[in-house]
C-alpha cells in the first residue's frame, strides 16, 4: 500500500510540473531535415550542441536533442522552488507568463516555441509558459520574488544569486597586447547543470558560441564569443534589489544583443533598452576589431559604463559605480570577510603583479586561484577566486557553513581564439577539485533534501571548443 501511495504522489508531482512523457511521435520530413543540420556530442563533462536556421528550426533542434536534460532541469527547478517556498512550480509558471510573455520579441518566442515542439517530438511534453518561466527563473526568483515573498512565504530563504569571478585585460596588461578574458561561474550545486556549449548559427545576425544550460536561449552564466568579434562575460552585482515588472526580461535582451550587435556600443544599447533590473550584472565586453574592452554595470535607474584600449576590468560582485553601490545595493565594499570583497582585493593584487604578462595560461591560473585575502593564506574557501564554500566551516558567519555552492567551471579566451570562434573551458571546478555528492550529503545531513539534486563533478581537463564542431 505504501509503495502505491508513493507512486501516486510521484505521478501527481510530475504532472504538476507540466512535463509529461508521450510516445509514438512520427517526425515529419521537414523536422528530419532540420535535425540533419544539428549535432550533439559530449566531451570532458560538457555537452556540445550545434543548432542553426530560423528561430523555430534551431529551437526544435535544441528541444529534440536535449529533451532528456531539459526535462531533468525543469524537475530540479520545480523541486528547489517548492522546497524553498512551499509553493507549486505552476504558481511560478503562471505568474511568470503574465509578467514576461507580453514583453518577449517574436524571434525569441519562436525559438522557445521550437524548443517545446522539439521536446514533444522527443516524447517529452511541456508548454511555452514553462519554458519562458525556466528561461526567466533567475529574474523571477532572484529579483521579483524577494520584493513580494514576505507577504506570501515569509520564512522562505533569500535566493542565492549567481556570483562569479571574471576579468578582461588589453594593451600593455597582456603579453601580446591583445585581449584576454577569463571567467568562472559560482552558483548553487543543486541547480540545473550549466555544462552546455551552445553553437548557434542563426539565419539572421551573428554566430554565437556560448556556455549555457539545456533549454535556455541565452547563456545564463554569460560567457560568449560572436562572429562580430565580440567576447563577453559578467559578474552579478551583489546585494542588488530594484526591479521593474514592466521592463523587458534580461534573458531576451542578452540573447538579442549577442546575436545582433556588431560593436560594444551597440551591444550595450540593446541591453539598456527596456532594462527591468533583473539579473543585474557588471558586463565585461571586448571587441577584437578595435582591441577595446568595456565594463557595463547595468543597474536599474543607474548605469555605469567605461571603455578603454589600455588596462583591465575585473568583476567580483561589488558594484564599482558609486550610484549603483549606494542607491541600488545593500553591499559593503570594505568588509573583507565577505567573499565579494575578498575576491575584489585579490583581483587588484593579481592585476598589479602580472602587468604585461597576462595570457591564456595565467588566465586559467587566476580563475583557479585559492589565495584568501582575509586570512592571507592559500586556503580554498568561500573568499577565494575559485570559491569553495562547501569546504568552508565559515567560522566568520558570512554564510551558511559548508553551503553546497561555489565555482562550477572555468573559461578563458583571447583575441586569437576569438577570431577562430573558440575558447577553452573546464567543467567541474576551475581548479579541478572534484565534488562527490554522496560523500558530501553523508557528511552534511542538514542538506539531505538535496539528495538526487546534487551531482558528482569529477576532475576534468581544460578543453578547446570551436564553432562548427562535429562529432
Q: Which residues pair with 174 in a beta bridge?
A: 358
What pLDDT is stored for residue 166 in this prediction? 98
Q: Is residue 414 part of a domain?
A: yes
pLDDT digits (tens, 9 = 90+) for 203-242: 999 999 999 999 999 999 999 999 999 999 999 999 999 9
Q: Are residues 305 and 357 in the same domain?
A: yes
Residue environment code for 428-459, b if the CB has 16+ CB neighbours within 10 A, otherwise e:
bbbbebebebeebbeeeeebeebeebbeebee
Q: Is residue 471 part of a domain?
A: no
Provide the CATH number for the domain around residue 84.
1.10.439
What's the chain's average pLDDT? 94
Give the phi and the psi of residue 383 in degrees, each rounded to 5: -95, 0
Q: Are residues 319 and 390 in the same domain?
A: yes
What pLDDT is stored for residue 471 in this prediction? 81
Provide the CATH number for the domain around residue 217.
3.60.60.20
**pLDDT of 13 above 50:** no
What pLDDT is stored for residue 24 in this prediction? 72
Domain encompassing residue 38: 17-151
Over residues 51-70, mean pLDDT: 98
Q: Is residue 367 part of a domain?
A: yes
Q: Is residue 156 part of a domain?
A: no
What pLDDT is stored for residue 31 in this prediction? 98
pLDDT digits (tens, 9 = 90+) for 409-444: 999 999 999 999 999 999 999 999 999 999 999 999
Domain boundary among 95, 126, 151: 151
Q: Whole-angstrom Cα distance, residue 267 to residue 307? A: 13
pLDDT digits (tens, 9 = 90+) for 158-204: 766 668 999 999 999 999 999 999 999 999 999 899 999 999 999 99
**Residues with Cβ within 8 Å of residue 58, at least 6 apart in sequence:** 38, 51, 52, 111, 114, 200, 202
Over residues 4-17, mean pLDDT: 42
Domain boundary among 95, 122, 151: 151
Q: Are residues 438 and 370 in the same domain?
A: yes
**pLDDT of 107 above 90:** yes
Note the pTM of the prediction, 2 decimals. Answer: 0.94
pLDDT digits (tens, 9 = 90+) for 347-389: 999 999 999 999 999 999 999 999 999 999 999 999 999 999 9
Q: Is residue 4 part of a domain?
A: no
The answer to whether 227 and 288 have CB atoms below 8 angstroms apart is no
Task: Show the DSSP H helices in 240-373 as ranges.
Answer: 250-260, 264-272, 322-327, 339-353, 360-367
Q: Are residues 224 and 292 in the same domain?
A: yes
Over residues 290-316, mean pLDDT: 98
Q: Are residues 168 and 217 in the same domain?
A: yes
Q: Please give the torsion angle defined by the CA atoms of residues 425, 427, 432 and 433, in that order, rounded to the nearest 10 degrees.
A: 160
Confidence of residue 18 (pLDDT cuts 50, 70, 90): low
Q: Are residues 265 and 328 in the same domain?
A: yes
What pLDDT is stored for residue 273 in this prediction? 98
Q: Is residue 167 part of a domain?
A: yes
**pLDDT of 336 above 50:** yes
What pLDDT is stored for residue 158 in this prediction? 73
Q: Is residue 418 part of a domain?
A: yes
Q: Are residues 121 and 214 in the same domain?
A: no
Reported as type and span, the H/E element at residue 368 is: none
Q: What percent of the chain has pLDDT over 70?
A: 94
Q: Is residue 1 part of a domain?
A: no
Q: Are residues 139 and 172 in the same domain?
A: no
Confidence of residue 8 (pLDDT cuts 50, 70, 90): very low
CA angle (318 as vertex; 313, 321 as ends), nearest 5: 70
CA angle (140 as vertex; 138, 141 as ends), nearest 5: 65
Q: Are residues 52 and 197 in the same domain?
A: no
Provide the domain count of the chain: 2
Q: Are residues 49 and 172 in the same domain?
A: no
Q: What percent of the chain has pLDDT over 90?
A: 90
What pLDDT is stored for residue 394 in this prediction? 83
**pLDDT of 4 above 60:** no
The answer to whether 236 and 164 have CB atoms below 8 angstroms apart is yes
Q: Are residues 231 and 119 in the same domain?
A: no
What pLDDT is stored for residue 212 in this prediction? 98
- DSSP-based three-state secondary structure for 166: strand
Q: Are residues 239 and 98 in the same domain?
A: no
Domain boundary among 128, 151, 174: 151
Over residues 110-128, mean pLDDT: 98
Confidence of residue 155 (pLDDT cuts 50, 70, 90): confident
**pLDDT of 11 above 60:** no
Amino acid at each position: 500500500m505504501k509503495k502505491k501511495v508513493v507512486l501516486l504522489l510521484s505521478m501527481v508531482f510530475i504532472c504538476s510540473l507540466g512535463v509529461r512523457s508521450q510516445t509514438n511521435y512520427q517526425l515529419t520530413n521537414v523536422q528530419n531535415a532540420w535535425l540533419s543540420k544539428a549535432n550533439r556530442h559530449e566531451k570532458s563533462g560538457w555537452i556540445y550542441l550545434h543548432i542553426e536556421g530560423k528561430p523555430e528550426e534551431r529551437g526544435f533542434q535544441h528541444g529534440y536533442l536535449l529533451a532528456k536534460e531539459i526535462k531533468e532541469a525543469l524537475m530540479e527547478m520545480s523541486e528547489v522552488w517548492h522546497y524553498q517556498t512551499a509553493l507549486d512550480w505552476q504558481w511560478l509558471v503562471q505568474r511568470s507568463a503574465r509578467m514576461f510573455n507580453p514583453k518577449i520579441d517574436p524571434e525569441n518566442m519562436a525559438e522557445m516555441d521550437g524548443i517545446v515542439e522539439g521536446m514533444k517530438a522527443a516524447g517529452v511534453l511541456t508548454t511555452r509558459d514553462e519554458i519562458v518561466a525556466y528561461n526567466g527563473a533567475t529574474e523571477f526568483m532572484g529579483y521579483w520574488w524577494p520584493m513580494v515573498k514576505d507577504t506570501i512565504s515569509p520564512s522562505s530563504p533569500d535566493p542565492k544569486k549567481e556570483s562569479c569571478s571574471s576579468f578582461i585585460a588589453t594593451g600593455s596588461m597582456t603579453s601580446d597586447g591583445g585581449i584576454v578574458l577569463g571567467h568562472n561561474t559560482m552558483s548553487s550545486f543543486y541547480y540545473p547543470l550549466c555544462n552546455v556549449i551552445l553553437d548557434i548559427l542563426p539565419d539572421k545576425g551573428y554566430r554565437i558560441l556560448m556556455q549555457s544550460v539545456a533549454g535556455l536561449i541565452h547563456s545564463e552564466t554569460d560567457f560568449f564569443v560572436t562572429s562580430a568579434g565580440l567576447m563577453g562575460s559578467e559578474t552579478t552585482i551583489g546585494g542588488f534589489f530594484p526591479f521593474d515588472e514592466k521592463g523587458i526580461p534580461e534573458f531576451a535582451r542578452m540573447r538579442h544583443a549577442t546575436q545582433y550587435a556588431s560593436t560594444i556600443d551597440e551591444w550595450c544599447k540593446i541591453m539598456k533598452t527596456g532594462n527591468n533590473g533583473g539579473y543585474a550584472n557588471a558586463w565585461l565586453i571586448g571587441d577584437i576589431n578595435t582591441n577595446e574592452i568595456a565594463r557595463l554595470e547595468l543597474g536599474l535607474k543607474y548605469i555605469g559604463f567605461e571603455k578603454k584600449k589600455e588596462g583591465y576590468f575585473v568583476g567580483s560582485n561589488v558594484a564599482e559605480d558609486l550610484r549603483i553601490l549606494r542607491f541600488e545595493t545593500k553591499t559593503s565594499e570594505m568588509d573583507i570577510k565577505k567573499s565579494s570583497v575578498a575576491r575584489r582585493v585579490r583581483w587588484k593584487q593579481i592585476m598589479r603583479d602580472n602587468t604585461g604578462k597576462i595570457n591564456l595560461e595565467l588566465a586559467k591560473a587566476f580563475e583557479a586561484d585559492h589565495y584568501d585575502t582575509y586570512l592571507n593564506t592559500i586556503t580554498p574557501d568561500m573568499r577565494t577566486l575559485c570559491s569553495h564554500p562547501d569546504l568552508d566551516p565559515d567560522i566568520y558567519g558570512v554564510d551558511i557553513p559548508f553551503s553546497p555552492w561555489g565555482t562550477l567551471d572555468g573559461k578563458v579566451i583571447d583575441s586569437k581564439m576569438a577570431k577562430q570562434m573558440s575558447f577553452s573551458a573546464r567543467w567541474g571546478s576551475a581548479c579541478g577539485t572534484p565534488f562527490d555528492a554522496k560523500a558530501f550529503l553523508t557528511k552534511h545531513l542538514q542538506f539531505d533534501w538535496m539528495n538526487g539534486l546534487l551531482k558528482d563533478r569529477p576532475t576534468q581537463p581544460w578543453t578547446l571548443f570551436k564553432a562548427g564542431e562535429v562529432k
